[in-house]
Amino acid sequence: MVFESEHFGKINYKKSETIWMAKGLLGFEGSHQFILLSPEEQDPFKWLQSVDDESLAFLVIDPLLVKPDFNIDINPKDLAILECKNASDLIIYLLVTIPKGRIEQMTANLQAPIIINKANLHAIQLIINESGHITQYPIFKALEKKLSGDK
């Protein structure tokens, strides 16, 4: 399939690569189909690109790269929505925000991670109301340290 993205131009993808979010994302409930883009030059970041809206794309990152102790509990209801039979099938991403011209102030949203079942590509945005899971967790220094090989 071919999709024209406002941010990435023409994208070729297979229908089998489409991530399905029944409820969409918070504030973007009308977008249900996404593809995950991994531009090499932007590693370790990925883009969650809406197939329903060519202008809608979200920068995401693996939480363990920026917060190694990140841990969440997924309730049985959410596991049922994901049709998850094995926890090892789950992939977690955090939404990243980079203020224009201030990359060192980039943050990740720990309170609303994206959970994807890689077995069937069903996904949800999990809203966590626990303390310690904030919406603007600074990640620049942790990411810089991780990518430089420091522990």
- Confidence band for 150, pLDDT divided at 50, 70 and 90: low
Domain count, the chain: 1
Q: What is the CATH number of the domain that holds 52?
A: 2.30.290.10
Report, as an integer, the average pLDDT of 56-70: 96
User: For 19-47, what is each residue's pLDDT tens digit?
Assistant: 999 999 999 999 999 999 999 888 899 99
End-to-end CA distance of the chain: 42
Check whether 130 has a pLDDT greater than 80: no
User: For 67-101, what is each residue's pLDDT tens digit?
Assistant: 999 999 899 999 999 999 888 899 999 999 999 99
Check whether 123 has a pLDDT greater than 90: yes
Find the domain containing 131 and state its range.
2-148
Q: Model-level pTM?
A: 0.92
Check whether 149 has a pLDDT greater than 90: no
